[in-house]
Structures are given as C-alpha cells and as structure tokens.
Amino acid sequence: MTPLLQVDNLRIELTTRDGVAPVIDDLSLQLNAGETLSFVGESGCGKSMTALALMGLLPEGVGRVASGKILFDGEDLTQASDARLREIRGNEISMIFQEPMTSLNPVYTIGEQIAEVLRRHQNLSKKAAWNKAIELLDAVRIPNPSARVSDYPHQMSGGQRQLVMIAIALACEPKILIADEPTTALDVTVQAQIFDLLRDLGREFGTAIILITHDMGAVADMAERMIVMYAGRKAEAGPVEQVIEHPRHPYTKGLISCVPHLIATLTEERPELTEVAGIVPSLRDFGRDQCLFASRCDRADQQCKSSRPPEIEFDDGQSSACWHAEQL
Amino acid sequence: MNTEQEQTVETARSPFSEAFEMFRQNHLAVAGLILLVLIILAGLFGPYLYVADPFDMVWAPFSPPGEEGYLLGTDYLGRDLLAMLIHGARVSILIGLSAAFLTVFIGITVGALAGFYRGITEEILMRITEFFQVLPTLLFSMVIVALFGASLPMITLAIGLVSWPSVARITRAEFLRIRELEYVTAARACGVSNAKLIFKVILPNALPPIIVQAALMVGSAILFEAGLSFLGLTDPNVVSWGQIIGSNREYILDASFTVTVPGLAIFITVLAISLVGDGLNDALNPKLRQR
C-alpha cells in the first residue's frame, strides 16, 4: 500500500541573522490513511515547522524547503502551485492550532466561519453550509449548537473555541488533520475531552491525524506511531507502545522519565521524576556534523561530538539516530 | 424571577453592535451626531424650505442680521446670507464626505497592499506615501486646483490626494499587526486566497482606527475646502462657506457678521464631526471597552 503522505529527506532552512539554519534536517516519514502519527519534542525542535511545511505555510521570506519531497497522494506539495495548495488546504489537509483564544476571527460568528470553509471547498449554498455548520458543532459536542452557531468567538471559552476549530478543520472531511499542540493552552479536563473527540472523529471520518505535542501522555493515549524530534532531526521513530517500552535514544528515554503515569501506576511506588538537563541548542548550531543531543547526554563520547549519527533501523520497525542505539 | 433572568441573558452581539452601544452611552458624541444630522438635513432640505437664490441681490449690502426679514443679514453684494449658508452647507458637506471617501479609498488600498505583501511592494508604496506626506499640502492642492481648474471634483481630488498618507500608514500598521495573528494563519490553513485574506479576514479587523480617522478626515476636508476657497481657489458658480468668508474678508471690520456667520457654521460642523469621531474612537477602541 502506498502511504497517504510520504516525506522524503525534507530539509527546511530558516534565514536568521546569523545565516541560514536547517530547522528541519533530513526528515523522512510516512503516514497511512486513518493512522495517527505523533511528533514529540521540546519547544524549538522543529515540530511546528514540519506542520507548516506540510501545509505550505512556512513564514514567507524566512523559511523555505531547501530539498526533499512532500508527497501527498503521489503529488509533490513542494512543487505544487499556490492555487493547488489552496485547494488542498482546509479540504484535504487541515490544521488546528495551539492558541484557540486567537485562532478564530473575532468579527465573524462561528457559524459564518465554519460555513465559509464549506462554501469554498464544497460549493454548498449559504443555507446548506449553515445547516452543516450546526451539524458539525453538534458533532464536536458543543451543547445547544443551533443557538451557539451565531455566537461570536469572544462569547466562548477556550475549550469551546478549540472545538470550533476542530469543527472547521473537519468540515470538509480532510484526509489529514494536523493538530499542532491542540491542548497546550487548555486545562486538563478539557484536554481529555479534545483528545477523545479527535480520536473518535478521526475514526469516524477515516482521517489520518498528525499530532504535534510535547506531552508524552497524550501520545500514549492517542497515537499509533511516534516520531521524536530533536533540534530539527529525527531522533527516534517507531510504534508508540514499543518506543515507550524500550526507547532506543537517550533523549526519548529522558522525555519518558519526565512523565509520571507512563512509568508507574498510582498504587505502585513511583520512581523519582527526572528532567532532561540543559536546553535545545540554538538554531545556529543546528547544521553541525555531530549528535546535537551530545551536550545533554551522559553517554556522549568523542564519536558523538565529531560526526552525526546515522539512522539505525531495527527489525521491529523502530529506528534511532544514536551511535549507542544498539546498547540501549 | 423568570423575566429577570431573561433580561440578564446576554444575546449574541457582533463587535460592531457592541461598539454602537458604547457610542450611545457617550452623550457628547451623541450630541455631535444629532448636530451633524441637523446640518446635513439643513443642507439637503433647506433649499426647499427656504426658497431663495443665494446669488440674488436682494437688499442693501451689509444690512445687519434681522433687518427687513433677512435673518442673517446680507453680504457685500446685498445677497441673503441665510440662503448662502444653506446652499453652502451642501457644498461643504459634499466635499467633506467625498474627499474623506477618496482619502480612505486610496489610503486603505495602498496601506493594505503594503502591509499584506511586505517586501518590495511595501518599500515602493511606502516611499510613495512618504513622498506625498512631505509635500506642503496646501501648496500642492493649490497647484492642482490652479492647473486643472477650480471645479468641485478637482477640489475634492486635490484634498484627497494630499490627505491619504495618514490613512495609508494607519492601515499598513494594522495590517502588519493583524497578518501575524493566529486567525490569519488559520484562515490560510483553510485555503483562503490572498484577496479574501486582505478584504474579508484582515480588513474588518483593521477597520476601527480607520473609521475614526475617516470621521476626522471629513472635518479636516471641510476645513481644507474652506481654506482653499478663502484663497479664492473655488468654483465661483457654487456657494461654499469658505467662499463666503473669502469674498467678505475685506469688510471684516465694517460688517463682521458676514465673516462670523459662515465661520461659525464651519466651526460647529467640524466640532460636531470631531465629537462623533471621538465617540467612535472610544467605542471602537477595545482597551476602553468595558466587558
């Protein structure tokens, strides 16, 4: 089966004051229809950049795809025209954002905003689009949808606004939904609700979901496969359960040990929580020929600091870019 | 109990209807609006209610207000000042509105394109804007009117051409701010085209300060027109307030009312517009809005 989305050796460069930095460096991935893939990593690891690149929305004049391919249904999105990209966006690939408070246009009612997408991509009449908007609000479990459809965004809570964003994103039953940290700005109960909804609706519409997050707990709940990103490079990839059970990259290991309930149930005695010491290197160091995690890794040796580790594939579908992967 | 509850339930209101509510609570602004409406009504229907030709010499020159039934007296040619004032209102307000419209139209177009597309487009458009901004406005408009004739459309054009830079700069600033907001990225992610992003997504959000500026622009356009006609750069076949002042200025010491009356008309009109503009500013400024 050919994958729905295939990214080959993608390299994205950002122009900064210090020159050009590869914010995504040699990233390859595959996404099958209906599958949930998760990107994990700290802030500044290039997760959001990957998402924007998939949508063709890299910041103008600053970011560009330097090399590599993004094949969606066999079509290379890096070569597609603007008009074609606009056709795809919101219709076949859609996206929800981190900040539900500011992701909706304050001067239109939410009904108008949902209907707008439907009218653009599906040529529905005004009336039909409005009715579909009410249905969608119902589908994302907003109570009393026929009344709330004519609300303005400022009349809704953050959680509700994110539900509306999901309704907009799913309006055209896209093949891929990119969720860029959809719950970062929301409280924990709402988080659970949003994840439930994403999972259910993804299944219902057969939508593949790319979930970008730094919450390992969410990954374990939601995704089938995960990609751990570090400093613009793929650190580790594989099926979620397997990776959590047996991480083959020190960074993944560190991330997992930061989340209490992944390593212990409440009744058991809990191991001490740890942190991954240090911070992500600055953009200017991204292109170096070394393991970028070396400065924070207790296993780092001379080899780690002098050459970039290749991606080592394991038989069970896991892969890791670490010189010591086999020993882990 | 039940009815009380119903009253406190907030109904869905657009940001603009909320602003209207704020405006209504500002008594000065409402007073300004009423005054402005009265002046516009006087200009529209006055000539039918007070039938008199403003160019007719009806009585002795410089007769003071009230004499012989001429409520505001006569000017240096013995023309009825009240009739002139009413006809002048039409011209002044028409020029004020159309010049403001032209200003806003050019300003929004230039500012929106510059703020949205950035890069070389912005560079070129903003340099042009700065060029127009550093021109001495009165001199430039005098040149236009002197070169192309003192007709009303030409005067409107002259005023519009010298006053659009401020609107362009405000619009550009708003576009620069709004284009980076998440809902614009979200709209892009839904496949919205650039034209729609500019006019349907960003512009409605950028409007509040532009509306305020436009309201104030009407006032300054009226003043500008008065200034031009005071200098004699006006269509001699139409009466305007500035023109009355200009043509009577030599007699200011002998018959001061000939200058005072149209001067007051300009003053009151511009004051009314400023009050409305100020009220709009308060109503549309989110920082002053009480939620």
ipTM for the whole complex:
0.82
Task: List, as own/partner pairs, every contact residues B12-20 make where C-beta atoms lie below 8 angstroms and the sequence separation is at least 24, other chains included.
Answer: B12/A109, B12/A150, B12/A151, B12/A152, B12/A155, B13/A152, B14/A107, B14/A109, B14/A152, B15/A106, B15/A107, B15/A152, B15/A154, B16/A107, B18/B289, B19/B208, B19/B280, B19/B283, B19/B284, B19/B289, B20/B283
The residues, ordered by sequence, that sit 6+ positions from A230 with a Cβ below 8 Å of its Cβ are A41, A42, A45, A251, A280, A292, A293
For A98, the closest chain B residue by CA position comes to B182
Give residue B286's pLDDT band: very low, low, confident or very high (50, 70, 90): low
Residues of chain B with pLDDT > 90, as a percent, come to: 26
Give tens-digit pLDDT for B219-270.
889 888 888 888 888 888 888 888 888 888 888 888 788 888 888 998 999 9
Give, in degrees to the nearest 5, the angle at Cα B85 between B82 and B86: 90
Mean pLDDT of the residues in chain B: 84
Q: Which chain B residues contact residue A116 at CB under 8 A?
A: 190
Segment 96-135 of chain B within 8 Å of chain A by CB: 118-119
For residue A123, what are the CA distances in angstroms to A31, A128, A301?
Answer: 29, 10, 60
For A58, the closest chain B residue by CA position comes to B185
Predicted confidence (pLDDT) at residue B66 exceeds the cutoff of 80: no
pLDDT for residue A268:
60
User: Shortest CB distance from A57 goes to which of B15, B188, B205?
Assistant: B188
Segment 144-183 of chain A within 8 Å of chain B by CB: 150-152, 154-155, 165, 168
pTM of the model: 0.81
Task: State how far Cα B222 lies from the chain centre.
Answer: 7
Q: Determine which helix (DSSP H) or strand (DSSP E) holds A160, and give its type and residue range.
A: helix A158-170
Segment 182-201 of chain B within 8 Å of chain A by CB: 182-183, 185-193, 201
Q: Determine which helix (DSSP H) or strand (DSSP E) holds B158, and give its type and residue range.
A: helix B152-178
pLDDT for residue B3:
42
- CA–CA gap between residue A139 and residue A46 (Å, rounded): 32
Give residue B131's pLDDT band: very low, low, confident or very high (50, 70, 90): very high
pLDDT for residue A266:
56
For B193, the closest chain A residue by CA position comes to A86
**B73-285 is classed in which CATH architecture?**
Orthogonal Bundle (1.10)
Between β-strands A63-72 and A5-16, what pairing exists: parallel, antiparallel or unpaired?
Answer: antiparallel
User: Shortest CB distance from A94 goes to which of B10, B16, B189?
Assistant: B189
Q: Determine which helix (DSSP H) or strand (DSSP E) holds B245, and give its type and residue range.
A: helix B241-248
Q: Which of A103, A122, A151 to mutate to test the interface with B (most CBs of B within 10 A)?
A: A103
Give residue B1's pLDDT band: very low, low, confident or very high (50, 70, 90): very low
pLDDT for residue B243:
85
| Contact present, A240 and A218 (Cβ < 8 Å) | no
User: Shortest CB distance from A102 goes to which of B183, B191, B193?
Assistant: B183
- Size of the A and B interface in Cβ pairs below 8 Å: 76
Q: Does A274 contact chain B (CB < 8 Å)?
A: no
- CA–CA gap between residue B252 and residue B230 (Å, rounded): 13
Higher pLDDT, B65 or A244: A244
pLDDT for residue A276:
77
Please indicate whether, in this complex, the C-beta atoms of A103 and B186 are within 8 angstroms of each other. Answer: yes
- CA–CA gap between residue B9 and residue B77 (Å, rounded): 65
The shortest C-alpha distance from B12 to chain A (Å) reads 5
How much is the average pLDDT of B76-103?
Answer: 87
Between β-strands A319-320 and A312-313, what pairing exists: parallel, antiparallel or unpaired?
Answer: antiparallel
Domain spans, chain B? 73-285
The shortest C-alpha distance from B15 to chain A (Å) reads 6
pLDDT for residue A137:
92
A71, β-bridge pairs: A6, A76
Q: Which of A84, A99, A104, A105 to mutate to test the interface with B (most CBs of B within 10 A)?
A: A105
Per-residue pLDDT of chain A (328 residues; tens, 9 = 90+): 678 999 988 998 888 887 888 888 888 888 998 899 999 888 778 888 888 888 888 887 788 888 888 999 888 988 888 889 988 988 899 998 888 888 898 888 999 999 999 998 888 899 999 999 999 999 888 889 998 998 888 888 888 899 999 999 988 889 999 998 888 878 888 888 888 888 888 888 889 999 998 788 788 888 889 999 888 888 899 998 888 888 888 888 888 887 766 655 555 666 666 777 777 788 777 877 888 888 888 888 888 888 888 888 888 888 888 888 777 7
The shortest C-alpha distance from B11 to chain A (Å) reads 9
pLDDT for residue B112:
94
Predicted confidence (pLDDT) at residue B70 exceeds the cutoff of 80: no
pLDDT for residue B233:
85
Closest CA to B261 of B89, B58, B67, B30: B89
DSSP state of B57: B
